[in-house]
Amino acid sequence: MFAIFLTPSFILDLQDHELEAAISQAITLDQILTKRENYFAGTKLRSGDRLVNILIVPGHDDESTGAGYKGLREVDLNRELAQNLYTYLSKESGMNVVLASDNRGYSPIFKKYFVRDKKKIETFIIKSKKSFSRKMRNEEVGLGDTTAHNTATNDVVFKLYGINRWASTQKFDLVIHVHFNDYPGRAWNKPGDEVGFSIYTPGKFLENHEISKQFADSIFKELKKVRPVSTLETEKDGVIENHQLIALGSNQTLTAGSVLIEYGYIYEEIFSDPEYRSIAFDTLAYSTYSGIKKLLNEKPIEKKYEIISVTENKTTPNNLKWQYQKALAGMYPPLNKSLIDCPATGYFGECSRGVGK
């Protein structure tokens, strides 16, 4: 099921010059927290002043499928994890959550929008690039981005900027792009050397930098309980600022707080088996949800796994659930060990015995 978002007509009627002015005024965390206060106080205000609007964007689509490994397509993993995240967030009161796509492709909202507003999106791209380029020249600064990313096709560029424009016109507060990582030079049928997650957030010259950094830091604190931070040299800090990723609002094209999360490398073993992947994705979605709740100064629901038994010296789904349960409680990995030394894979060996049953 796609999430349905009914948009007030006054937002749809924003003119291009009004949108351009609005983009320079990014959302703040205080504004989002005020919405939560209004909602829980039962204040009779329009929905835009009471509901926190969150857009989840699974990376890639069926034309541009992203990374791949032994039959796995990144787009499919992105959609699966995004659906898990949508399930957690959509149960929260006072949150309007929209999923941009699922295994059927883009939602009807976006399919229609990309066609109906094609010319407006193209104009928006041109104007935004010119305006931001002029600002950077006037301020005589360099952006300083160091992490390499694949060059997007024209169609992907159009859709990503289109999503930014849509999210801004619809007054969205937070945008989450779901991805899995890879790196250049890896043989397509062999696992690579790098592991772990990273979160990309807008650089300091973008107006949505502050709220996005707060957003990223909150999610990072939760994800690092269950996943190692990326071992790739340029991602070792975990949260990386970037001005050029369109998903984050490059060229000043997004008012919302935005993060792009690389949840892991596509060839990591935990993502290959559907049963283990299902447990991992549920946990990663829960951790992301927890980060959002804590950003809002709210307590997330407690995560409990149904664990029948654990089996020593074996790799089992129950062992994996046990490891995640302990990790969320801050008890795994054992003292003086990291998730690089003791990854949560479902194998109950020395690392798990170091925690105790």
pLDDT of residue 43: 80
Residue 28: its pLDDT value, please? Answer: 97
The confidence score (pLDDT) of residue 12 equals 40
11 pLDDT above the threshold of 60: no
Residue 270 is predicted with a pLDDT of: 96
CB atoms within 10 A of CB 294: 15
The pLDDT of residue 48 is 76
Which pLDDT score is estimated for 8? 34
Asked if the model's pLDDT at residue 309 lies above 70, the reply is yes
Task: Give, as one character, the DSSP assignment of residue 229.
Answer: B
> pLDDT tens digits, residue range 324-347?
999 999 999 999 999 999 999 999
**42-80 residue pLDDT tens:** 887 777 788 999 999 999 999 999 999 999 999 999 999
> What are the pLDDT digits (tens) for 139-186?
544 555 555 555 567 899 999 999 999 999 999 999 999 999 998 888
Task: State how far the Cα of 357 lies from the Cα of 332, in Å rounded to an integer.
Answer: 11
Domain assignments of the chain as residue spans, ordered by start: 9-295, 317-353
- 315 pairs with which residues across the strands? 347
Amino acid symbol at 58: P
- What was the pLDDT predicted at 19? 52
CATH number at 9-295: 3.40.630.40
Task: Encode pLDDT of 198-231 as tens digits.
Answer: 999 999 999 999 999 999 999 999 999 999 999 9
Mean pLDDT of 107-113: 96
Average pLDDT in the chain: 90
> What is the b/e burial string over 25-44, where b = at least 16 CB atoms within 10 angstroms of the residue's CB?
ebbebeebeebbebbeeeee
Q: Write the CA distances from 136 to 124, 127, 131, 143, integer angstroms.
A: 18, 14, 9, 9
pLDDT at 161: 97
Which stretches of the chain are assigned E, i.e. beta strand?
A: 52-58, 68-69, 72-73, 95-99, 101-102, 105-106, 174-181, 198-202, 239-242, 257-265
What is the arithmetic mean of pLDDT over 293-310? Answer: 95
